[in-house]
Structure formats: structure tokens, C-alpha cells
A and B are shown apart, each in its own frame.
Chain A
């Protein structure tokens, strides 16, 4: 069931297996029957490591969601809390433990598994409540990098960007460095490290320091990765703000993909069977897993959405033809052969049906007038048109009270594409936003300003045009059907981050020194010494493998662009992607907004 993890150039099953082993070891420490109480947020990421069957083999009989009140009366010997080290969760645990019936027999034992790290603060907090002593095992499970697909790893740390760039809290960078050390323990020391940005510099420093401090980590594994490229998200603030136009990117923009799952409106997926029309229409959203294990999805996910329709219709013809074959099957042998292929054909058919439905859903949105208007404005900004004026469309959207996040995405995009807005323009937008959406959003606007997304033009100079031209970020003749450049993922705009990766591989960053200096943070190169026996002798025509680590998040469109580079015939480099979180413009801006809702309970 994890075949998709081993399909890539680097076999990530090993990483998953290491995670499973650690989990089993912990479970076996708590002898006897168990119930797990889950921090709901963790079930998604854990689902990518292990299924319930693994837990069951280790005597996990019940599972609950963490919530205040008395724990359900499961008849088990152990209660294990799987939680992130957050104070609010400690309060819920405390409540659970204090309400446990002391008179019950046999008594249940409590344990805590912190993910990804134990926290002194949390334990102190529990101690204050007088419950710390109730826990027999307090351990940590370092779920740093979770394998999402054969070429994709994520830490799923949703607040990483905010912590790094707003609060200067580098804890998530520490975890990133830890994750990279684990990766090197499994796949060998990465000989070359490149980076751009302050956070990248920090992570590289930590890796070097960790290696020095734990000399035992010197391993004798032949290195799988040739290069590590560390990129700060704030080197490229532009890309996530634009609407992604690949199939997977659009699914994420519109419905949100979480831990490889997407929830879709059920209407289009209603099983149409004769005789029960309209009856039992499902009301729960349809949940689908999206990864390369599904052949069709792997083929279309990275295409520009405009190129998806034709692939689907071709597939439909092929499958129809395959099913027609049954009429020609005459002999027993032929029938047998047909039948043996049926399961595969059925899977292909149901996969095609699903994606046809999803494509229809997306098409409804991409053909709407508003989507088109929005995209037009985005593309104008990115190609450098009228970025220094108040934009009519943005004003109209505010007047019609479109969702605030949409407004913020556009205004930030304009700001980034103009190296900051003229003070007059900025003040105008701010006033309109506060008057329409509420003055309290002044806090959010302030956060965006701190993160560099929305700011006044201070230097009086706009660097973006130079950066755009030098890095060829805007391509006028984009081919969406048969792309020859990464700009197809945004129908014209080539993601800056990926352009940096591309130029690093060929011809090297020396050619763009000037532009690199205009982007924030230092750029650097480090080498990690390998024992002579482990130095690679490359075969003729063998591709290099580069791990690109996005600190602060990466979008599906950027992933698509890197996959496109991997597949280029004369590319010479294959990419594996790691990140602190898979993001899109909406989830990203949301993580920077001040939480304004009243207390939850």
C-alpha cells in the first residue's frame, strides 16, 4: 500500500519504515491492551505512516479524539495521549486525568507521546496541575519529515512561516535540521549544500553543528542525494500569492488538500444506478486520496488545467475500447484473459470517473467571470502592468465584500510585484479594508507588513522588473498543452523559487549574482566531506539528485514545476522536495492573520 513511496528515484519507504519501527517500539513499552487518545490534528500525518492495523497488532483496542471531560470507559490497561506539545492540549489532558474514576478497577495507566518533541514547558504545566506524576511514560516521537509521495516530504507544521518570519522563533528550523539529519542517516551524507535566505543559513549551520557534535552520525552509507538546496520562503513571497493553475494546484486552491486527502461536494459523485433515481443522495462530502499510487492522477496532476480535458477524453476512449474487447472474446482462453484484466480495468474506470467529476467541478469555477477577472489582475501585476496604481478590480471586490483573504492576496501580490506600494496607495487600501471588514484587522495588516508581504516602497526603487527580466519570470509565449518551460504552471509566470533551483543546476548561481543580492538574505555554499570510499563516480548520463527544502512552505504548482524539470530529457537533475508545510495563498495568508474569533469554550 505504500508502493507510491518507492516509485521515485529515492526510495522513501525506508523513511516510512523507520517511523513505523519507532512507533512499534513505543507501543510495546506500554505492555497490555491500550486506547489511544488523539490530538485530532495528528491523525492526518500519522495516517501517512501507519494504518490502524499496525496499531491493532500492538494491542491498541480503542481510539478516541482528545476533548475535555471524562474519558470513555474503555476496558484497557493503558491510555496513551498522542499530542503536539501545546499548552491548551495539556489543559484538556489534565481535565481527562482529573476526572478519571480512581475507584475503577483495574486502574488504567496513563502515558504521553509528544509529537514531534517533548516539551519542558508542557511537562512543567502538567506538574502545576498535579497530574505529571500520573504518567508512566512520557516520550517523544520525532515525526519530522513525513513522506507524502515518492518525491515529496513535509513536516506539516502549519505555523512554521509565522514563527520564523513574524516571531523569530526558530524552533521549526531546528526540527527541519533534525529531519535532515534523520534523512542523512538513512540516505547518506549530502555532499553539497546550497542555500538562499536567513533561515536557510540557520538550518545549514545547525546541520553542520549537529554533525560535529555527534561524530557517531558519520555513516558509511553511499550518498543518494548529490545536493541539498535550502530556500527561504521569504526569498520568493510572490509565488504562493498567485492562483495555481495546475490540476492539483487548483484542487488545492478550491477544495484544500490535507495530508493527501481532499473532500469534495458529493453531488457529482452520486452513484447512478437504475431504479433508484434521486434516492439516498449522499450528503457527506466525498473524500478521496490523491497521490501517485493512482496512475491516472500521477499523469494529470502536474498538467496545466487547460490540458487535462483532452487527456481525460482520450482515456475514456481507450477504456471504452478495452471493455468492448469482451465481444471479441470467443474462446475460453480469451474470456479468461479478459476476466483477469477486469480488476485493473475497473480501477482505471473508477479513477477516470472520479477525475472527470473533479474536472467538471473545477471547470465550473475556472469558467466563472470572477475567476477570469481575478486571474487577469494577477497576471497584469506579475507582468509588471500598473502595479503602482490603485486597482479598480480590487476596489470593486472590497465594495462587494468578497472574502477578506482574497483581497489580501491581491493587495500583497501587487505590493510584492512593486517592491512595496506607494504610501498613498497603501493607505487607501488599508482604509478601505478597515472600513469594510472591521478596524480590528489592523492587527492582521500589521502582521503582513512585518512579514514583508505588504509594505510601503521605502527605497523609492522598484527592483521587481529587473528580477523579472533577469530570471525570465514572465513568459509571453507559454504552451500549456505541451510545455517547454516551467512557466506553464501559472500560465505565464515562472515561479521564482523554482527558477533559482533551475539556474543553480545550470549554469550555476554565479551567473545571477546581481539578482541574488536583490533578494533577501545571504546565499551560500557548503561542502560536507565524504570518506574516499563513498565518493560517487557518476555513470555517463546518470542524473544528479537534488533535495530542495522550502523553509516556510511550498505550493503544488512549485512542486509540479520541479517535477517538470526532473522529467526534462536533457535536464540532468532529478528533484526531491521537502517542506515545512504544503501551502497555498489562502492557507498561507490565514496563518498570518490575527485570530479574531472569541474563545472556543
Chain B
């Protein structure tokens, strides 16, 4: 979908050659083919020569747009994907290959002309035909193609296609392997009920198809949307963009639907009318099908806005609109009475533009209690049927229509599933000492997994500033690596501010899905001018006004509240503060790595920026680049629009996750560019290591432990109780101002000086005994690491090279531990009754292996002189499913101080991973983090759960 300048020319050449060929071919072609081809030809002639001929019309539109068209936007989203993707290595090959092909192509031109004509030509023609009229049946095209594929020399065909596609759809093609280039036809049902048909390579990833659809729709704010398919059991599933389509759909049924995946809580914050229009279409369907229940009056109101948007002002002279209104579906049980009410209300909307009507529609729909709630059938422990609803704010529990419980994201520590059980671990309330786990039974493990995935994605999208990095790129991550891979709401909002195109013209197609009876009715096509006129200002202005919207203001309030909380709490949580102060290594790491999921530093930084417009501009430019380089770098986007994000930014700072981040700005300023680029390229961000065993069997996800903003992000939702709890947790990580300064100071002095770093820590935190340290840890952490019982990797991060006297044995070879988990099966009134604790002892078959690597030098320096222990501390930090325990000891020996860092990292996941490579990576990272320290010992303790074959 993206055109690279270089490859474009290639294509052009070929296109010209081919076009010559085509003229011949069209004469010779079979009847069927000819029909199609001619149609294509006709179209092509209108559109001129060269490459355009090969492009479907939607693509041409893109091309003519300004820089920020989706074409430019693609790479960021894609980058992480392709990184994760092991096939990444193929990318250059693909390109290289394309060139080769080109040469051959020229030689073989005649050949292909004579015998690969049908396939070579019908394909583009077919695509255009689709474009021209989505409603037309494409069977003929497909047929032709199939025939072609069978009859023609397959290799030729494939080369042809590959070439065309490699250049045209440069970036998504990365997702496609080079050797198998079989094409399949995908049918995508769009929100207006029409069908979009396109071809993708058989091994294409979900993202490729999704991008194709978005381009077809001319949609830029695509992160709210997704593609669904039906699995074997007729269950609707989200197509994972990072995975091959073929592997997901299973039944070889390439039928998809384009749907809203994340319902924006405030649609007025969307940048483009076209996005709102699509959201409206989805909601109309949701309402009409009863998925989004609403009252009679609301049905009527929403229906009236639909009429206004689709047919414009009520015209008294028109033939009684009741004639067609009863063919439209507005509600599951639509009565005459309702239709009359709709018409009555429709009259009152006179003068409203379609875009305004859509806005009104959304303003009302968003208030409905089930707006954006994704319901899943489940049972509580007593076998009572309930529904679990996943939404922007958290997890809702319904019995019949009644809400019987609610778990806001900040209350949830961990989300996991095991077989057909779905568990959420709840942060303890103020009066409780321990977190509890609430379990639900789902129909089967498939539904448990689906629910889990939806939770992970919703949490990431709505609560995180940037998605967690999928674990694959890290070391030793096992398990299915499911994580939300797209942009978060924050990121997508930021990205939206970059949209700089005239409002695209789009046709409101009178909801084909609702009824086709309106086809004869006047179409309302919103043009740029009309849109601007109706809004009274240009899109950019709109963005600014966004920033003043009430939502933002609320955010501001939150900030104030939280900063208070933070200050209040400062004294109480010294332990936790200290703990975080001590996590210097992490701090350092984050300095060294431009870690995408680290919004706050940028935000702090933003403060500087706002005062200096010049810098701001620079950043803005930078941001664009970054956007293309790494999707994960949400923070970059943040910088883009200071005015808009000011409040949010502050919130984040207040919420304070990891100190390390907060401290980063100083350096960020200096090495911004290199840092980010390097970071993006190198993938060093270890803090986001996540192991999420998505092994079909079970998986977990820790929503609250990772590093991004989350708590303050959804202001309305602050609950008192929660706040207090949050406060506890947050203050742990917040260790307010002083430490940040300290950290910054360290950074200024010299980031690579590990020694220095540690002194700083010492100073900050006078005496901390190891015994005390655990207090600073959150209790659940330990449990977590072992429960997934798959793999452990202890890692020595680095040791002081100056003095190497005492060898500390870093040994993590514990016996395999099977932790029991406290499981509280929720009952219908989980919020209200005391919980019933049950114990579940998972039976786990494990295999244990311990390998020790030691640096030779270490032996010599052995345990010779003990030295004086100055400080010792243990820090446990937890990110997602990885637990890092850092033990720092400082000893004083003969005037030299020695600092030793032991790191123990527990990674969980399932088994297809190259351990050696991962280990090497881990060591490399350690070295990079502490360049002046040396790794003296590495102990790998591997515990593998023996595979249980289960789907």
C-alpha cells in the first residue's frame, strides 16, 4: 500500500511494457477475460499512463494526497510488527528479488505476453472493477483468475504479481514471505454493508488486509477499527494483524468484516468526519441489532439523526417518507409508533449537515450504558450465567441486565486464563491485606482466551500510553506473544493531530446494510468545502478546540487531585520510594534505550518545549520521522501538540510509573534523535519484556504493573477507594521530585558511570537492609513469576570492573516451584459478599535445567577478602510478566568500593524460542547497560512445562 519512490519507477517501466503487452493480449484473450480486461482498460485510459494504470482508484486517491496520507503513516504501525516478525530478514530479499525479477521480466516480456496474459492482466483489471462498483459480483474475476492460475505457468504468474505488489505495497509486503506467492481473494464486509474484495498473498498478515481495507475506505484514524472473522464455531474473532491470516481463519474461508474495535469514549475528539461516519455506521448496526440496547425515545432520537445524515432535511413535499422508513431498521422491535416518532424528530433537525447529525448521533449514543461494552458469556463459581463486559474503563459483570460488579482497570493487577477459566487478580481494597483472584468459567478455553485477548487489547488501548512491546523481540520469551500491537488511544489521538489533508470526500451510502430502498434517494456527498463550511473552520482549528474540550479540563482537575495525593503520601511510603530510587539500573537502562513506552519523561520534557517554540517545532518535525520509524514511540507523538496534551502530560507525570522515566528528559533533550532512532532500531527496551504465555492453554497479563500512564488516564473513573490504593502503588513508583532530580543529576554527570549512579542511590537512601527491602516489593510479584512456570533466566547484569574481589554466587537454580494460587471464584455479588477462597493447585509437569556460565577472571578474585558491606538492597521490579529482581550490594574493601549487581529475571512464556540467542541478547543488553561493568556469571535455570497438547 505504500509506494516507495525507488520502486515506483521500477514499476512504471514495467507497467509501460506491460501495457503494450496488454493491448495485444486483449485481442487474444479468452472471452471471459476479455470482458474484464476491457473494462479495466477503459478505466485505465481515463486515468492515464504508467503506474496509475496498475493501481486501483483508491490508491490513486492516496497518492494525490499530502504527506500525511496513510501511505506515510503505515510504517510506524508496521515497524514493530516487522520487528517482531522473524521474517523481517526477508524484507531486503524481497526487494532484491523484485529487481531480479524485473530484469528477467524484460527478457521474458514476450513470453509472458503469450502465455501468462490472462492472469497478468485480469488481476489489476479485477481490482479496478471492484473499485468501480463494490456491489458488482466479482465472481467472474475470481473465476478467471483461478482458471488462469491453473492453466498458466505458475512461476511466471507469481513473478509478475510479486513484482507489481512488491513495489506498490512496499511496506505491507514485508509481512509476506517471498517464496510462496499464491494469492487469495478476501471478501470484507464493510460497515455500510457493501463488500470489498481484494487479493492478498496467501501468507499475508492481518495487517496487510486491514491496511488495504483502510485505504479503500480512505480512513486514517484506523486504530479504532479492526477486522473480524468467524471461527469454526461461528464466533466472531478479531484478526490479529501481526499474524498470518491463513493461520487464523483456519477454515480457508477468507471472509471478513470491518468493524469498530475500540469505541472512542468521546467521539467528538476524533479528527475526521469520515471516522465518525464509520463509527456511526457501526453504532447504527449495534442499535438495530439490539447489541446496544436503548429505550424507545433513544431509538427514535438516534433514528432521526440517521435520517438527517442520510437523506438531509425533511421535505414536506416528498412522498410520505413513511414509505421507506419502514424499510429501514432502527431498532430490533421497530413499531409504527417509533417510525412516526423518528419522523417527527427528523423534522426538528432541519438545517443540520450530515456531519453534524452524525455528531449528535454519537453524542447521544456514547452515553448509553452499553456503549462500547463487549459482552462475553460466562458463569460464576456457582454456575450462574453472567456476562462479562469489557470496555474502556474495565471489566463489568452483568447478570441479566443488572450490573453486579465492576473492576476498573486500575483495580486489576493481573488478567489470566487457564483452560476455560478466566481470572482477574484484584488489588486489595484499603481494608484488605491481600489481593484476591476472581475466577469465571467460560464455555471453553477458546472463549476464555478470546476474552483474555480482548481484555489485553482494551486495557492497552485505553489505559496505556504506548503498547507494550510484544515479547518476541526480547530474549527468552516464551509463549504465544499476544499483545496489543496497534497504537493506543493516546497515540492515535496524537497521530490524528498530524492529519493534514483536506477532509476527504466520502459518500454516505444510505446504509446499504439497513436497506437498499434508499438507493434512489438523493445521495449526500460531503465535499471538502461543505465540510469546512459547516464547521466554520478548518481541521487544524478543530484540533485546537479539542484541547479545550471538557474532557481535557477534567484531566487537569485530576492532575491537581493527584499531585495532592502524591504529596500527602510521600512520607508514608518511604520504603517504596526507596525501592524505586534504587532502581538505578533501570533508570539507566531507560536512558540508554529510547524506550517507547515511557511517556512521562517526554512529558516533562514537553514542559520545556512549551516554553521554547523553536524546540517545539523541531520536535514536531522529528516526530513525523519517528512516526515512521517506530510505532511504539508514543511519546514522540505527545510532543507534537503540546497545547493539547498539556493536561494529560501532567497527569502522567503525577501518576509516575517508573522513576527512571521521569528522569529521562534531561538526556532526552540532548540525544533525542539518535536515541530514538537507535532505540527503535535496536529494540533494547527491556522493561517492557512481557511474557504472556498465550499458549492456548493459559496466559496472563499484568495490566497495572507496567510502565505507562494508566491510572490518571481516564479521569472520570477515579474512584476513591481506588485512588487510595493507587496512591499506595503510585507513590511507590513516584518517589517524587527529589529523586527525579537526583536521577537527572546522575544523568548529567555522566550516564555511563555506574559507580556514580550507585553512590547516588546510597545517598538517597541511607540505610536499607535487605530485610527491609521486600517491604518495598509488591507481594504479588513473586507469585506471578512462578505461576507461569515456564522458564527462568537469571542474569547477572554487570559487575564493577574496578574492584572485583568477592565473587557473589548468583544462583537461581532453585528447585522447580509450583505455586499455588489463591483463587476466589467470584459469585454473583462479588462486590458485596465476602469472598470464598478456594485453592487451586495446578499440576504442572516441569523439566528443570540449570546452566552456569562464569567469566574466567572471576575465579581468581574469588571470595578472598570479604570487605565491609556498605549497603545491600533488593529491588524487584515487575513489568508485565517479567519479574526482575535486582540485588545491589556495595562493599568497601581497602578503600575501594565495589558494587555488585545481581539480576534475576524470570521470564515466562511458551516454548518456541531460540534460547541461546536470547541468552546472548540478554548478556549483550547487560553489557550495554553497564558498559563499565563486566558480566561475571550467568546462570540459566530453565524450567519447562512439558507440553500439553491442547489446541
- Is A bound to B? no
Interface residues of A (CB under 8 A from B): none
Interface residues of B (CB under 8 A from A): none
